[in-house]
Amino acid sequence: MLLIYNILAAISFVLGLPWLLMMLFRREHRLGERLGLGFKERFAPLKGRKPIWIHAASVGEISAINPLLSAVKTRRPELPVVISATTVTGLKKARQVLKEADVFTLLPFDLMLILFYVLGQVRPKVLLLTELELWPNLIWGAKTLGYRLAVVNGRLSPRGFSRYQLIKRFVRKILGKVDFFCLQSELDRERFLQLGVSPEKTAVTGSLKFDVSLGKHVKLPFLADRQAIVAGSTREGEEKILIEAFAELRRDFEHLLLVLAPRHLNRVPEVEALASEAGFTVARKSRLKSADQEVDIVVLDTMGELSSVYASAQVAFVGGSLVPVGGHNPLEPAVWGVPVLFGPYMEQQGAAALLEKGAAFQVEQADQLVQTIAQLLEDPSKREAAGSQGKRVVQGRRGSARATVELLIKNGII
């Protein structure tokens, strides 16, 4: 199966060469790093120091590993840490928030020759993969060269689990090369066991997202005397629903403000246009002036501020949940004591606990969204009760980062 995977990967690479050659001249794509170029020079200062290499795919995973990075540096201060990301956006986020890391890089293409060369330059003591980044050549190459491997903050969504079951034999062989799995929940552990992972190589350590500390509260002048809904990490198709709901809410709450934070910043112009077409006064956060007190909708077009902007909200909506994406992190607003809403497609760790304690509200359709937000805006005591429960949920489940690092040390991984 690995041979078939590599044949398909090589064919895809050849077919994509014209696009790759075009991208070579666009520096923002950093194609050289994806091809393994420059690794020898960049990693020369780490030669012989056996770094810990942590890979995180998405922006959300980058934020979650910050407490893990701090715990690693506390217990193994002598070891440098390399952070890799799958996307350029993720890499920018990593540079912003992971201040204790030593080297940052994009993950190269999962091609055998490239990864053998890159692994030979990095020479990590261990490769830590967050959630479950199944890059067969990266995992196989690291194991072949004698490096340790572990999955941290591991989870398997229902959709991911179903996909992996279709190629269970191949997945089992790749996962069999991983030395240890630190998983978010008992359900995740059961799914990994069904894919063939040995029970003695697994432990439930909880979600690192519960350990993420509060960021700086960005005080927004235009929010001083206004109630606000902050909709974070929204995906295509959700903004239209949210804007329509906002239009209904404005009939009863005339000074209400909506902050829209699209998951991908390249969608900012599209979201801005949607708000304008609906007849609202709209402004990007980066272009706001002190005189913009009467703006109806603000589009958050800056990176790294969403968590703290949630702190200014009366109500928060977490995106990726009204469309079948799986939802994003509901703990980001909860940690600030803000009531959380999300749609029917929420699969993130912590969502069930927030719902159980009355800190979050799941809505199935637009009219329910309007009704729930209106109730929270009208009733400060209900908002306060939900927010307080959210804080308790987060605080009661902290400790995953420390538990993860202690287990990795105990099992000789780091």
In this prediction the pTM is 0.85
Let me know: does 156 contact 132? Beta carbons within 8 Å: yes
From first CA to last CA, the distance across the chain in angstroms is 30
**118 Cβ neighbours under 8 A, 6+ residues apart:** 36, 39, 108
- The pLDDT value given to residue 61: 84
Q: What angle do CA 123, 36, 47 make, to 5 degrees?
A: 30
Which CATH code is given to the segment(s) 25-207+398-410? Answer: 3.40.50.11720
- The pLDDT value given to residue 304: 79
**360 Cβ neighbours under 8 A, 6+ residues apart:** 330, 334, 339, 340, 341, 342, 351, 354, 386, 390
Determine the distance from the C-alpha atom of residue 226 to the mean position of all C-alpha atoms in its chain, rounded to a whole number: 30
Q: How far apart are CA 332 and CA 359, in angstroms?
A: 12
Q: How far apart are CA 308 and CA 38, in angstroms?
A: 36
- The pLDDT value given to residue 225: 76
Q: pLDDT tens digits for the chain (414 residues)?
A: 776 766 766 677 666 666 665 655 555 557 778 888 888 888 888 888 999 999 998 777 888 899 999 999 999 999 999 999 988 888 888 998 899 999 999 999 989 999 999 999 999 999 999 987 788 999 999 999 999 999 999 999 888 899 999 999 999 999 999 999 999 999 999 999 999 999 999 999 999 989 987 766 666 776 767 899 999 999 999 999 999 999 999 999 989 999 999 999 999 999 999 999 999 999 999 888 755 568 999 999 988 788 888 998 999 999 999 999 999 999 999 999 999 999 999 988 889 999 999 999 999 989 999 999 999 999 999 999 999 999 999 999 999 999 999 999 999 999
Let me know: does 253 contact 267? Beta carbons within 8 Å: no
- The pLDDT value given to residue 216: 66
SS (HEC) of the chain: CHHHHHHHHHHHHHHCHHHHHHHCCCHHHCHHHHCCCCHHHHHHHHCCCCCEEEEECCHHHHHHCHHHHHHHHHHCCCCCEEEEECCHHHHHHHHHHCCCCCEEEECCCCCHHHHHHHHHHHCCCEEEEECCCCCHHHHHHHHHCCCEEEEEEECCCHHHHHHHHHCHHHHHHHHCCCCEEEECCHHHHHHHHHCCCCHHHEEECCCHHHHCCCCCCCCCHHHCCCCEEEEEEECCCHHHHHHHHHHHHCCCCCCCEEEEEECCHHHHHHHHHHHHHCCCCEEEHHHCCCCCCCCCEEECCCCCCHHHHHCCCCEEEECCCCCCCCCCCCHHHHCCCCCEEECCCCCCCCHHHHHHCCCEEECCCHHHHHHHHHHHHHCHHHHHHHHHHHHHHHHHCCCHHHHHHHHHHHCCCC
Q: Say whether 221-394 and 25-207+398-410 share the same fold.
A: yes
Q: Domain 221-394 has what CATH class?
A: alpha beta
- The pLDDT value given to residue 351: 94
Let me know: does 66 contact 212? Beta carbons within 8 Å: yes
User: Is 254 labeled as catalytic in the residue annotation?
Assistant: no
* Active-site choice (33, 61, 272, 332): 61
Let me know: does 59 contact 89? Beta carbons within 8 Å: yes
Q: How far apart are CA 345 and CA 347, in angstroms?
A: 6
Q: Delimit the domains of the chain by residue range.
A: 25-207+398-410, 221-394
Within 10 angstroms of residue 71's Cβ, the number of other Cβ atoms is 22
